[in-house]
Structure 1
């Protein structure tokens, strides 16, 4: 097994999806995800893409994000809205809830 794992949107077929209906606030967002995973669960990474919309999110694990293109507004419940753009990176801690 190779030790170098490439995330290539040209050669990997993405998974497609959308927010669960009970989490949707506005819009009609659609997702595409190009995943890299280890069978033992020790790694889960990839590239995620979304069309415009707003939905509730909740994380029970660490989430590192690096914005490749576009703009996103992340708001923690009870907190201020944070706008992130292409080139920005951030981490959400386990327990994050918001939009």
Structure 2
């Protein structure tokens, strides 16, 4: 087994995306989060995967982890608690620091590669 995990430009390593549920139903504000994903690595404090979801909005809270993501396709708007908003699209990356809480709104079906680092 190799210590190298290849992830292609569609966010797929050796498997296809499968139905998943990362979005808590109680956090959803509008729409329906229809999700698929693939887990590439789950190693203690680091989780790496690909996630795709249809348009919806939620209150997102990361009380004890930092998230780094690169958008492969689609668009997302992220609004901080103070109202500052930013939009991200294909090729963009973002970091949400541990403790982030705000609005996460998928504007167009979104596919991203993410890295979660637990505190």
Normalising to structure 2: TM-score of the pair? Answer: 0.72
Q: How many residues align?
A: 98
Note the C-alpha offset of 1:94: 0.2
Tell whether the 8 Å contact from 1:18 to 1:30 is kept in structure 2 after alignment: no
- State the 1:2 CA deviation: 1.6
**What residue is the counterpart of 2:74 in the other structure?**
70
Shift of 1:61: 0.8
Is residue 54 of structure 1 aligned with residue 57 of structure 2?
Answer: yes
- The 8 Å contact of residues 18 and 29 in structure 1, kept in 2 or not, is answered as no
Aligned to 2:5: 5
Matches within 5 A, 1:1-99: 1-7=1-7, 9=12, 11-13=14-16, 14-17=18-21, 19-38=23-42, 40-59=43-62, 60-99=64-103
Q: What 5-or-longer segments of structure 1 have no aligned partner? A: none
More strand by share: 2
Judge conservation of contact 2:77–2:88 (CA < 8 Å) in 1.
yes
- Secondary structure of the residue aligned to 1:68 is strand
Looking at both structures, which has the greater relative contact order when contacts are Cα pairs under 8 Å and sequence separation is at least 6?
2
The two structures, once aligned, show a CA RMSD in angstroms of: 1.9
